[in-house]
Structure 1
Amino acid sequence: MSNGDKAADLWVFGYGSLIWRPGFAFEESVAARLHGYHRSLCVFSHVHRGTPERPGLVLGLDRGGVCRGLAFRVAASQAEETVAYLRAREQATSVYLERHVSLRLDDRRQVRGLVYVADRKHLQYAGKLPPAELLKLVRQGRGQSG
């Protein structure tokens, strides 16, 4: 497995808002698949879509399945700054674990990429909720991001 075009470059996997609003400079983006995780409404949101008193529910990456998204290649010179930005953005309440995982790019390359996955031990991990509870939490979700 290679790390893409340059060994020192950073790859970042995006599956939600990182696709349409990455917020960092990148050299290329390629459609990609992350095996072993799937998108799931499994995270109680206390910041972006809710508050601790009135949580919303947001998508996180949970174990099992496959997730399609985009892989962004960040120049080595921007890697440290990009990771700092992503930690501030994704780790507001430390509900995600930072991982370096294997990504399969649609152009057939395989690279190691940075991704944030739901921490099943965190108090904000919602797990698999009944449909009525999912709907209630999504509808009541109001926070910094809407």
Structure 2
Amino acid sequence: MDEFWVFGYGSLMWNPGFAFAEKSPARAFGFRRSLCVWSHVHRGTPDHPGLVLGLDRGGSCRGVAFRVEPQNRDDALDYLRRRELVTNVYRERVLPVTLDKGQRIKAIGYVVDRDHLQYAGALSVEEAAAIVGRSLGQSGPNNAYVFNTIAHLKQMGIRDPWLEAVGSAVAEELQAAG
């Protein structure tokens, strides 16, 4: 890779945590954003795990690509590995990504490992909403994570109908409860 790019699909989009020279709306084909990772600490507990985002196979995912200058590459990669590879539920991959301007690039991305114990699999809106609605971890309620993600995506002009449906179902449950 001559240029070093990083693809973000969740909190990395609005909170990258590393120095970058350029950012661009982008799409990764062959992957989709999904609440498919069990969270036993930050958004749940071992007894009542929550759900956090993973980049899973299938479809396409709108996100953000960050171009990192060569002198910042190693620091960015070290930071990303500490952030994303804590439990090894994600695998570092080089992904084909298309920038909104049409340029095709290769970018580092973190894809869920479907063989990992934290992989929750493909859940229905109802299943995901039930889990998100009841889970609480060290970083707060799982529903706050989902609502915050949806709000950030909307601010960036990104629609995620499945995630929005989960958020709506959780909001309805909260309203009905009280």
Q: With structure 2 as the length reference, what TM-score do the two structures score?
A: 0.73
Q: Does 2:151 match 1:145? A: no
Q: CA RMSD in A?
A: 1.5
User: What secondary structure is seen at the aligned counterpart in 1 of 2:136?
Assistant: coil
> Runs of at least 4 residues of structure 1 off by over 2 A?
51-54, 129-133, 140-146
1:38 equivalent to 2:32? Answer: yes
- 1:34·1:103 contact (CA, 8 Å) conserved in 2? yes
Q: 1:125 to 1:53 in 2, by over 3 A?
A: same
* Runs of 5+ consecutive residues of structure 1 not aligned to the other structure: none
Deviation of 1:52 (Å) = 2.3
Q: CA deviation at 1:49?
A: 1.4
Deviation string 1:4-57 (CA, Å, 9 cap, x unpaired) is xxx2x3100011101111111100001101000001111111233123232100
Partner-residue secondary structure (3-state), 1:88:
helix
Question: C-alpha deviations, 1:106-129, integer Å up to 9, x for none?
Answer: 112111100001100000101022
> Which residue of structure 1 lines up, in the alignment, with residue 121 of structure 2?
127
Higher helix share: 2
Specify which of 48, 60, 64 is matched with residue 66 of structure 1. Answer: 60
1:79 is the counterpart of 2:34: no
TM-superposed CA distance for 1:71, in Å, is 0.2
Distance in 1 of aligned mates of 2:47 and 2:77:
30
CA distance in 1, matches of 2:61, 2:103: 17
Q: Distance in 2 between matches of 1:45 and 1:52?
A: 8
How many residue pairs get matched? 140
* Cα deviation 1:78-106 (Å, max 9, x = unaligned): 11111111111112211011100111011
Q: Which amino acid letter does the alignment assign opposite residue 100 of structure 1?
A: V
The answer as to whether partners of 1:44 and 1:125 remain within 8 angstroms in 2 is yes
1:43, 1:60 within 8 Å by CA — same for their partners in 2? yes
Does 1 or 2 have the higher relative contact order (CA < 8 Å, sep 6+)?
Answer: 1
Structure number having the greater strand percentage = 1
| Contact 1:30 1:70 survives alignment (8 Å) | yes
Q: Does structure 2 conserve the Cα–Cα contact (< 8 Å) formed by 1:98 and 1:115?
A: yes
Q: Alpha carbons of 1:17 and 1:73: their partners in 2 closer, same or farther (altered >3 Å)?
A: same
The match for 2:13 is 19
CA distance in 2, matches of 1:121, 1:72: 28
Unaligned 5+ segments in structure 2 are 141-178
- Give me the whole-angstrom Cα distance separating, in 1, the residues matched to 2:72 and 2:98: 23
Normalising by structure 1, what TM-score? 0.88
Letter in 1 for 2:120: A
